[in-house]
Amino acid sequence: MLRFERLDDRNILVITAEGPLQQADFEIFTEQIDRNGTTQSRPARLMIKADLISRMDSFEAFVAHLKFVSEHHRQIERIAVLTDSEILKIVSHTAGLLVHPKIKQFDVGETDGAFDWLEAGR
């Protein structure tokens, strides 16, 4: 499940992954990004808080994730990933080589540093 917190004054969408991710989570994520794109003149910034249990619950969820990335990565300027999972650290680094947004990984306790980095690109 994904939880969303919009910080419109900072143009940041905070996403917290809790447990297995479902196809419907990415449909809601799409709505959040599309809504942000119509209310802001600059690309969105994302803060993603995730741990190892934030996995896909089905192949359909994985496909929905890939579709979301394919259709929306150019609308996103920066992504700060907060995780202590070594696997997710590797995944976020690899993703940064393949998609448009700048992606930087932070340890879970580095929320202030992640916000600073997200806002530095203004």
CATH number where 108 lies: 3.30.750.24
Number of domains in the chain: 1
Give the Cα separation of 1 and 20 in Å (integer). 6
Task: Give the domain range for residue 95.
Answer: 2-120
pLDDT band with cut points at 50, 70 and 90 for residue 6 = confident
Q: Please check whether residue 52 is in contact with residue 28, taking contact to mean a CB–CB distance below 8 angstroms.
A: no
Question: In this model, does residue 14 exceed pLDDT 90?
Answer: yes
Report the percentage of the chain scoring pLDDT > 70: 87
